[in-house]
């Protein structure tokens, strides 16, 4: 019976079973590694009319937020004279545009100037992290006191200035002061610095005991954030409340309708709410003793579809000393999830960047990110950077690939002798295995050498996956033609198709065993199915790696080594080993 006529052996059938299991378990695997597939959107049953005045989300309508302040001014614990009226204080820096209201001294609008929306409806507009005045986007940072009814939201503050514009290395402050009905003074001072995406908040109360304030207070971002990406479903998947408590990163990314509140006690370095690419973090100047999260959902309508948007509030618990004035300071970072920027705060903020498992994948991801940044400084196109990177990886693994290819070719040359062994020992599988291993050993062949180039690539591949889907550097990275955002999937699935074809060619060249011929077709199809929703940058990397592999294998076929030219007829007699020993 010829090899072509021989039925598929057990190993191939087992491989099919494993592949089918992989496909069936793929959704669970995606969830396990953190990748979110776009969920099926529910049909729209009711859509609120779009407000043409909304700048932040012209293509999206949102359910109105509950009013953050009480309308019953007769119960406010603060003094308000008849001349007082609400005013807005505007701060402009090269990085931020912020507005504060004298009602509650609260941040009501915050815009990131250096980052823009990429979806068609808002393309080119700066990212709006907070807008409680026009679009009901979020609530913003808030103080919450332990005393029932003592809220700053409706307090009548007066500001020492109505605008602040910074440039160069400038810094400036805005101070808000309110008087309680007991005669106490409460002051909140905001300090901004040019070229930074943060601001300091300082709360001072001279005699808190006069107003019954004691024990503790919470401060942090309330009301969550809103989608900023063209795919709000995928963006929503990364919404979470995060805190660094001790040395552990605490992350709450799911909403429990029955238990929306979570209180964790212990040393808390910071607390934050995050989306896929942006974060608002509260960093206390003095040790915080707890982390509180409120997780809810609200309907969000986008392009004729609705989804349940996760809304997180995250605050730190600050203890108060009885009988002492309050003087607490915080830094509020509101900006991109940029590893280097977050690391510069030296409080572990960079831990929120999801770069994979700490000891296996994360080191590779950090090296890849560093290399990408260096290459991007030389060639400012991340598509070109990815192509160069894939070439560097291919060059790095060339010795392993060379060993793999030549080992497979020597194994192929041994097939006639292997077939004779199988025919002679078909009733004794144990001895057959012993004789085959002996044959490979005498020929200097490692049967598992074919896996060597693949094993080191697995952590690199997963690290690449994390870099492409989580780092701000790849957000909106344009390559060429239809690939306008390498962090998003290919909208026309052209690159996954090219990747599948290139992988088939690579498999066709490397697979010599006729019994594995079916894998030559199945593996590219399986990878094509897996990759079709992956970031376009990852598809580009794998496509180029396949193309370089094809070129490499063609070259290796045309340049056999001297030991490959040895007569395989001598294998088994020990002459090959003797020949090498004498070489």
Pick the closest to residue 137 from 204, 54, 75 (CA basis).
Answer: 54
**Does residue 205 contact residue 268 with C-beta atoms inside 8 Å?**
no
Report the alpha-carbon distance of residue 329 to residue 350 in Å, rounded.
21
What angle, 0 to 180 degrees and rounded to 10, lies between the N-to-C axes of helices 536-558 and 494-510? 30
The half-sphere exposure of 309 on its side-chain side, counting CA atoms within 13 A, is 27
What's this model's pTM, rounded to 2 decimal places? 0.74
Going by C-beta distance under 8 Å and a sequence separation of 6 or more, which residues neighbour residue 306? Answer: 41, 42, 44, 45, 47, 299, 300
Structure tokens at 217: 């207070």
Report the alpha-carbon distance of residue 139 to residue 221 in Å, rounded.
8
421, β-bridge pairs: none
pLDDT in tens, the chain (583 residues): 444 444 445 555 565 556 556 555 555 555 555 544 443 333 333 333 333 333 333 344 444 343 444 444 445 788 888 888 899 999 999 999 999 999 999 999 999 998 999 888 888 899 999 988 765 667 889 999 888 778 888 889 999 999 999 988 899 999 999 998 888 889 999 999 998 999 999 999 988 888 888 788 999 999 889 888 888 888 888 899 999 999 899 999 998 888 899 999 999 999 999 998 999 999 999 989 999 999 998 888 877 778 888 999 999 999 988 888 999 999 999 999 999 999 999 999 998 888 777 777 788 888 888 888 888 888 888 889 989 988 888 888 888 777 777 777 777 777 778 788 878 877 778 888 888 788 777 777 766 665 566 666 777 778 888 887 788 888 888 888 888 888 888 888 888 898 888 888 877 777 666 666 667 777 788 888 877 888 888 888 888 888 888 888 788 777 766 555 544 444 444 444 444 444 3
Residue with tokens 């068609």: 120
Q: How many residues does the chain have?
A: 583
Q: How many CB atoms lie within 10 A of CB 308?
A: 14
Measure the CA dihedral 208/214/218/223, to 10°.
-70
Report the alpha-carbon distance of residue 281 to residue 271 in Å, rounded.
6
3 state SS for 2-34: CCCCCCCCHHHHHHHHHHHHHHHHHHHHHHHHC
Report the alpha-carbon distance of residue 304 to residue 50 in Å, rounded.
12
130, β-bridge pairs: 110
The half-sphere exposure of 456 on its side-chain side, counting CA atoms within 13 A, is 12
């Amino acid at each position: 019976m010829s090899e072509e006529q021989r039925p598929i052996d057990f190993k191939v059938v087992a491989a099919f079973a494993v592949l089918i299991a992989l496909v069936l378990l793929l959704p669970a695997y995606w969830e396990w590694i953190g990748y979110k597939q776009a969920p099926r959107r529910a049909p729209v049953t009711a859509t609120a009319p779009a407000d043409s005045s909304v700048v932040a989300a012209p293509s999206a309508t949102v359910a109105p937020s509950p009013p953050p302040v009480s309308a019953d001014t007769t119960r406010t614990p603060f003094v308000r004279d008849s001349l007082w009226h609400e005013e807005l204080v505007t701060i402009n820096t090269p990085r931020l545009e912020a507005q504060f209201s004298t009602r509650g001294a609260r941040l009501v609008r915050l815009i990131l100037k250096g980052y823009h929306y990429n979806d068609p409806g808002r393309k080119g507009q700066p990212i709006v992290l907070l807008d409680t005045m026009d679009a009901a986007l979020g609530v913003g940072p808030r103080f919450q006191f332990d005393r029932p009814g003592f809220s700053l939201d409706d307090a009548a503050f007066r500001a020492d200035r109505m605008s602040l514009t910074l440039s160069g290395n400038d810094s400036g402050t805005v101070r808000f002061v309110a008087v309680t009905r007991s005669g106490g003074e409460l002051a909140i001072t905001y300090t901004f610095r040019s070229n930074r995406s943060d601001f300091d908040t300082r709360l001072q109360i001279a005699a808190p005991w006069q107003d019954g304030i004691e024990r503790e207070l919470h401060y942090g971002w309330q009301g969550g954030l809103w989608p900023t990406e063209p795919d709000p479903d995928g963006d929503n998947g990364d919404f979470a409340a995060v805190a660094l408590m001790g040395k552990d990163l605490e992350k709450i990314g799911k909403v429990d309708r029955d238990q929306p509140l979570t209180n964790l006690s212990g040393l808390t370095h910071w607390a934050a709410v995050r989306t896929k690419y942006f974060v608002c973090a509260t960093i206390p100047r003095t040790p915080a003793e707890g982390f509180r999260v409120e997780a809810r959902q609200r309907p969000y309508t986008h392009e004729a579809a609705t989804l349940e948007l996760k809304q997180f509030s995250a605050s730190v618990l600050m203890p108060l000393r009885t009988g002492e004035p309050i003087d607490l300071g915080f830094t509020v970072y509101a900006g991109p999830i940029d590893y280097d920027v977050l690391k510069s705060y030296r409080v572990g903020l960079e831990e929120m960047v999801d770069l994979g498992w700490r000891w296996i994948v994360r080191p590779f991801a950090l090296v890849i990110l560093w290399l990408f940044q260096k290459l991007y400084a030389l060639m400012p196109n991340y598509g070109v950077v990815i192509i160069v990177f894939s070439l560097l990886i291919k060059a790095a693994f060339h010795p392993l690939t060379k060993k793999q290819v030549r080992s497979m070719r020597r194994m192929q040359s041994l097939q006639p002798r292997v077939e004779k062994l199988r025919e002679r020992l078909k009733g004794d599988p144990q001895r057959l295995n012993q004789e085959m291993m002996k044959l490979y050993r005498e020929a200097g062949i490692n049967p598992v050498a074919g896996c060597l180039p693949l094993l080191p690539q697995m952590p690199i591949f997963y690290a690449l996956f994390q870099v492409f889907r989580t780092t701000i550097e790849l957000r909106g990275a344009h390559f060429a033609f239809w690939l306008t955002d390498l962090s998003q999937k290919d909208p026309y699935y052209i690159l996954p198709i090219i990747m599948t074809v290139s992988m088939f060619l690579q498999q066709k060249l490397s697979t010599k065993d006729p019994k594995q011929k079916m894998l030559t077709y199945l593996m590219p199809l399986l990878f094509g199915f897996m990759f079709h929703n992956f970031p376009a940058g990852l598809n580009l990397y794998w496509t180029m790696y396949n193309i370089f592999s094809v070129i490499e294998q063609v070259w290796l076929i045309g340049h056999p080594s001297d030991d490959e030219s040895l007569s395989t007829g001598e294998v088994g007699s020990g002459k090959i080993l003797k020949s090498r020993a004498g070489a």
